[in-house]
Every structure is written in structure tokens, then in C-alpha cells.
Structure 1
Amino acid sequence: MYLGVFTWNIRTGYVDTLASHTGLELTRWVLTPGRWVWTRLSSFWERYVYFVGVRQENETLREDLARANEELVGAREQASLAKRLTDLLLIAPPPQWTREASRVIAHRLGPNAALETFVIDKGRRSDVDVNTPVVAPEGVVGRVLRASMNAATVLMVTDPNSKIPVVSQKSRTQGILVGRGSGQPMMLQYVSLSAQVEPGEILVTTGLEGIFPQGLPLATVTNVNREGASLFLNVSAQALFDPKRLEEVALLKKAPPPKPEEEEALPDTSTKRPKGAADRKGEVKKRGRNEPPEARPQESTPKKKRGEGQ
């Protein structure tokens, strides 16, 4: 059978044709799904590798963005600090006073604190003592209440225990400015009914209490009215600074008195002969011994006559 089929195939070629067509079809049905699978796998791998690279790039970009944000925040903080310190340096201390900057390290501790205070990082080691004036670029903040070696507590002008004599810049109306606590306007007491004080006037220190220099701005008049049978006007005022935004303040200190000039040396009134006098006298004597005989003065004694001595 094999030889017959082989001989028939040689003569007709049907077996070869059938085998070739059948093999091609089988190859096609085998290779097409494999090619499809290979294409999908290669595409998935390429996308996976691409996504991995994109993910790594995104993580790098996120890190760079976070670092840039940190640098931006730091730069803004430095710019804000520089502006605040510049404002402090622009505070011109009154004559015979000096200025020293200080940082606020703590505000009033707890909502039930009794005093409107904050803590600064300067103490007695920096010559900060009780009643040292504390100011901000806007105006007077308060005075030192307690001081330790390296810290001090500042009593703000808004505290009810703060009473400062002030005068208005425009009408020159005097009174006592008293604090009323956090968030409350201050009161200007003992203002006569005939006073010409108006809202918007700036209240400055008078220096009569012996703590603050004269002429420092302290508050702005917000309201003026008269109630009942009171003998004085009701004058409300608002502090020039914001207690919640205090970060740096300036301390005013009295400059040390100038050193007295050295006393001028008094002239020597002793009877001692000057040092060069004896030298000049000896020089004159020496010069007289060395002069020739004819230059010396003649003696006034008369000569004896001949034979007179015999």
C-alpha cells in the first residue's frame, strides 16, 4: 500500500498538495493565536515597564515638589522674620534710651490666666529689670512684670492692672488709660466734660509715671460719649498692636550716663628749681673759666705804689 500510494503520488502529486495545504492551515491556526498572545504579552510588559518608570518619575517629582514647598515655606518665614526685624530696627528710641530686640517665647498660659502677659527670652543677664518698657513697631506693648536670669514676664497695657497716664496728640487731653482684659477696649478715665478729644486721636505717654519715655504712641480713641450724671466723659480706646500676632518686641533701656572727662593736670606750684636751671648755671660757670684773661672783668682793687710796701 505504501509503495502504491508513493508511486501514485509521484505520478499525480495529490498527496504532496494535500500535505502542504493541510500543514499550512495547521500552521496558520497554531501561529495566529500564539502571535496574538505574544503581542498582548509584549504590549503588557512594555506598558508595565513604562508605568513603572512613570511611577518612579512621579515619586521623584513628588519629592521635588515637597522639597520646593518646604523651601518656599522657609523662604516666606524668613521674609516675614526679616520684615518684622526691620520694623523693630526702625523703632527710634527716645534720647538717652537704647533699644534691644527680644523674642516672644510664650503667651498667656491657659484661658483662665489672671493677667494679660507673655514671656520673652531676655532677663537680668541682659539688664532687663522690673518696669522695663516693652514696645512694638505699632506702639507701646507693656512693661516687665517679673524677670529671671534669662526670661521675663511682660504685663500688657490691655490688662486691668495696667494704668498709664496719657495725653492725646491733637487736643492735648490728659487722662489715665486703663486696660479691661482680652478683647475688651481700654478706657481713658478722668477726662473732663469740656475736653475736645475726638475719635481717631492717638494717645501717647506723658512720662509722668517714671516708667515710659514721653511721646510713645499707645492707643487710638474709638468712642467718646457721656452717660448719666457722670462728671467725666466715657472715652474708649483700642491698643495699636495685636496681642495675638506678637512674635518679637523691643526693650527700651536707659542709656548709661556719659563718663566724666579726665581732670586737667594742675600746674606745679612747688618751689623746686626746674631741672634745666642747674645745667644752665653750670654751663655759665664753665664758660667763665674758659674765657681769655682780657675778656674777664678788671679788678677794682688799686695797685700799690713803688716802695710803699717796704
Structure 2
Amino acid sequence: MAPPRNRRPGFSRRAQYGLFIGYVIAIAGALVGAVLLALATFDPPAFSALRSGAAEVTAPISWGVGSIWRGITGIPSAIGSFFGVHGENARLKEQIAGERQQLIRARAIAYENIRLKKLLAVREPGTETVTTARVVSSSAGSTRRFALLYAGLIQGVHAGMPVRAADGLVGRVLEAGPDTARILLLTDPESVIPVRRTRDGAPGFATGRGDGVLDVKPIALGNAAFGPGDVLVTSGTGGLFPPNLPVGQVTSRTRDGALARPYASPDALDYAIVLSAFMTPPPAPPADSRP
């Protein structure tokens, strides 16, 4: 008796089961993606809560994987630093000697500034450190720039709080869960930071471009254009970010502004500091009790 034509000799049952399981996983993934897309479209608060719950579960895994990856990627730089330590030491000594005079002048100006504020009885809101936590991950595969902080509502972190690192401003808290918080980095296209130039106080706005660079534009066209080497700090306008936090340094001019490189690089960020809002928002007006 001749074998049937549709028989495929050599095609094992294990391969058939593998193909079937692959189809099942692909279909299940498509269904889950469709459900999440519908939830994000029609019920954003529920989707935000679901995303915060997923972040709580995946944060320890991201922490461990990120630590291993940073250790592996840091091996070449550690080897290079070992061989170049003598030249780097000499360069740093020369840099310290050149900046010592600038530090003395800066301290004198800061002291004079404090004295004048006391004479004028200037009242300024304070800024407190809420918590210091590890940054377990950051987005690198899309134009949106977010980071996951291993601290949340339990540690006193709330949406809208500014986040900084030792080098400068990182961004602000976008949403907070029980033990994790999602940070909108200053390099995200939706991030707009009021800034000023340190040498003359020229105001402007620094907007993220999604590629690790900031797009800086002056507030008024009549202001002096930003140029390479200009240092930018937060201006305190808006009441969210405290003034004088380092933001970045201008690298080149554009047709209507400039490009700047932020001081705090999210890719090399291990820990971040969450600050209280510079000025707390005013309380909501009381509800009208009239019938």
C-alpha cells in the first residue's frame, strides 16, 4: 500500500509540538497586547496602576541585570584607567591649581549674596531631600526617555517631584507606585525645563530631543543667543525645579537656539536624589456649598 502524499517523513513530533506552542505564544501575545492597548486608550488610570504593579515585580530583576551589565561594560574603562592613571593624575592636579582661584572668588560672591539677602530680609522657599534611591533601569530603545527609580510612595516620593544626581538635574517624577517611581528624564521630548545662563542670567527653555541632547531656546528673540561653552542652570521659574541646579552645557548653535549636553547622563546613573517641589502648589479652592 502506497504511503499518503501529505505525509512529511523526517518531521518529528517534537518539532510539531514546538511549532504549535510557538503559534499559541504568538497568539496569546497578540491578545495581551490588544487588551493593554485598549486599556491604555479607554482607561488610562487603570493602565497606569497596572504598569506600576508590573514595575514593582520587575524592579529587582532590572536591578540585578543592570548591575551585571554595568560591571561587564566597565571592564574596558577600568583597564584604560589603570594604564592612564599617571597622566590623569597630573592633568587633575593642574586643573585643581587653575580652578582654586575661581573657587575662592565664587565663595566670596556666595558669602556676599547671603549677607545681602539677610539685609533685605528676602524670604525664599526651602528645598528638602526626600530620599536617595537606585536607578534600576532607563529606556534606551525609543525616543521616549524614562527611568525607573527604586523608591515610591512608601518612601515619600510623589508625582511632580524633581530628581537630580551629583552631576546635575535628571528630570521629574511622572508617576509613583508603592516602592517604585517612573521618572521623566530631561532628555525626553515632553520635558521642558526653565533655565538661565550663569554668566548673565539670560533665560530660556531646555527641551529634550530624545537622543540625549537638549534643544535650548531663548525666551525672547532679543536676548543674546546661546553659544558653545555656556553653562545652563535651572531658573526656578514655575515653582517645580529649585534654582541653580546644573542642567547642561551648550555645545553648538542652531538657527533659532542651541544644542546642549546634559551634565547628568542617565546611561551612567546609579543613584538619584528626589527633592521636594521648590514651591508647593496652592490648595484647591473650597467647593461651593450653596444649593
Tell me the TM-score normalized by structure 2: 0.49
When Rg is computed on C-alpha atoms for both structures, the one with the higher figure is: 1
Tell me the TM-score normalized by structure 1: 0.46
Task: Give the structure, 1 or 2, with the largest relative contact order (CA under 8 Å, sep 6 or more).
Answer: 2
